[in-house]
Amino acid sequence: MKSFIISLFTLLIVSSGCITQVETIPTLEFASQQLELLIAESDANLDAENRSNRGRLIAPRTVEGGELHFVHSGDWTSGFFPGVLWQMYELTGEEKWAESAKTYTSLVEREKRNGRTHDMGFKVYCSFGQGYRLTKDMDYRDVIIESANTLITRFNPTIGAIRSWDHNTDKWEHPVIIDNMMNLELLFRATQETGDSTYYNIAVSHANTTLREHFREDNSSYHVIDFYPETGEVRKRNTHQGYAHESAWARGQAWGLYGFTMSYRFTQDPAYLEQAQKIAAFILTHPNMPDDLVPYWDFNAPDIPNEARDVSAATIISSALFELSSMIEGEQATYYENVANKILANIDAKYRSDIGDNFGFLLDHSTGNHPKDSEVDVPINYADYYYLEAFSRSLGN
Here the CATH number for the domain that contains residue 221 is 1.50.10.10
Tell me, what's the pLDDT at 213?
Answer: 98
Burial of 237 (0-12, 13-18, 19+ CB in 10 A): middle
Tell me, what's the pLDDT at 170?
Answer: 84
3-state secondary structure string across the chain: CHHHHHHHHHHHHHHHCCCCCCCHHHHHHHHHHHHHHHHHHHHHHHHCCCEECCEEEEEEEEEECCEEEEEECCCCCCCHHHHHHHHHHHHHCCHHHHHHHHHHHHCCHHHHHCCCCCCHHHHHHHHHHHHHHHHCCHHHHHHHHHHHHHHHHHEECCCCEECCCCCCCCCCCCEEEHHHHHHHHHHHHHHHHHCCHHHHHHHHHHHHHHHHHCECCCCCECCEEEECCCCCCEEEEECCCCCCCCCCEHHHHHHHHHHHHHHHHHHCCHHHHHHHHHHHHHHHHCCCCCCCCCCECECCCCCCCCCCECHHHHHHHHHHHHHHHCCCCCHHHHHHHHHHHHHHHHHHHHCECCCCCHHHCCECCEEEEHHHCEEEEECEHHHHHHHHHHHHHHCCC
What is the C-alpha R_g of the chain? 20
Contact 366, 374 (CB under 8 A): no
Tell me, what's the pLDDT at 52?
Answer: 44
Tell me, what's the pLDDT at 23?
Answer: 43
Tell me, what's the pLDDT at 48?
Answer: 77
Backbone angles phi, psi at 162, to 5 degrees: -85, 130
Contact 249, 171 (CB under 8 A): no
Cα(91)–Cα(94) distance, rounded to whole angstroms?
8
Torsional sign, CA 305, 373, 253, 321: positive
- Closest-CA residue to 109 (of 99, 120, 118): 120
- The partner residues of 309 in beta bridges, in order of sequence, read 296
Q: Cα 381 to chain center, whole Å?
A: 10
Tell me, what's the pLDDT at 18?
Answer: 38
Q: To 10 degrees, the CA torsion angle through 45, 391, 210, 295?
A: 90
Cα(75)–Cα(300) distance, rounded to whole angstroms?
28
Report the number of distinct structural domains present in the chain: 1
Catalytic residue positions, numbered: 119, 179
Tell me, what's the pLDDT at 26?
Answer: 85
Query: What is the model's pTM?
Result: 0.93
Tell me, what's the pLDDT at 49?
Answer: 55
**Which residues in the chain land under pLDDT 70?**
1-25, 49-55
pLDDT in tens, 360-379: 999 999 999 999 999 999 99
Owning domain of residue 216: 2-394
